[in-house]
Amino acid sequence: MSLTKLLVPTYIQMLTALSGWLKKAQMQIGMSEAESLLSARLAPDMFPLSTQIRFCCVQAQEAVFRLQGQAFPASLGELVDEGRNAGEKPGSIAEAQNRISETITMLDAIGPAALDEDPEGHIAHALPSGMIFDLTAEQYARDWTLPQFYFHLMTAYAILRAEKIELGKVDYIPHLMPYLRADPAPAG
C-alpha cells in the first residue's frame, strides 16, 4: 500500500470524526459549556483538549510536507505554537473546527501518489528536545506520524469522555458505516 493511500484517507476520516465529536459535545451541553471543554485535561501534566486537536492537525500536515521533502510553511509553525500555548489561550470550538477543516482541505488537495516518491528515502526527524530519529519514509509513517496522530486523537476522545460527553464506537468509526452489511451474517 502506498503511503498516500494509507495516510491521507486515515487522517481525513479521523479528523472528520474529531470534528463530529466537537459538534456532539456542543449539542449535548451547549455552546458555552462546550467552549470550557477546550481547557480540560486528562492529567495535570498533559496538554488540554485544545492542544490535542491542534496537534492532530499538526501531525497530518507535518507528514505531508515531510514526506514530500518540502519545508514547513509558517502556518504550520503557528499551529504548533497555538497548540503549545493552548493552556493559556485555548481558543474557541469554532477555531478548532476551522483548524480541522483547513487540514482536511489540504489533505483533499494532495495528488494520488504525492507521498510515495521514495518510501525508503531518509528522514531525519528532529524533536524540540534535540533528539533526532533517522527513519525511512515508511518507518516515519508507520512508527512516528500515525502513532503520534492517534495519541492526540485518542487523548481528545478520552478527555471528552472524561468530561461526560456521550461518545461511542460509532462516533469513533463513522467512516465504516457505508461498509456495514444490511443483512445478517450467514448462520454456521
Q: Which domain holds residue 146?
A: 3-110+123-179
- Judged against a pLDDT cut of 70, whether residue 48 lies above it is answered with yes
* Residue 26 forms part of a structural domain: yes
> Strands 132-136, 122-126: parallel, antiparallel or unpaired by DSSP?
antiparallel
Side chain identity at 118, as an amino acid letter?
D
Question: Could you give the number of structural domains in the chain?
Answer: 1
CATH number of the domain enclosing 59? 1.20.120.450
Q: What is the pLDDT of residues 113-128, one digit of tens each?
A: 999 988 888 999 998 8
* Residue 186 forms part of a structural domain: no
Q: How far is CA 90 from the centre of its chain?
A: 17
* Residue 47 forms part of a structural domain: yes
How far is the C-alpha of 48 from the C-alpha of 83, rounded, in Å? 9
* Residue 184 forms part of a structural domain: no
* Confidence band of 188 (pLDDT split at 50, 70, 90): low
Closest to 165 in 3D by CA, of 20, 28, 10, 66: 28
How far is the C-alpha of 116 from the C-alpha of 68, rounded, in Å? 8
Q: Map residue 38 onto helix, strand or coil.
A: coil
Q: What is the pLDDT of residues 128-181, one digit of tens each?
A: 899 999 999 999 999 999 999 999 999 999 999 999 999 999 999 999 999 988
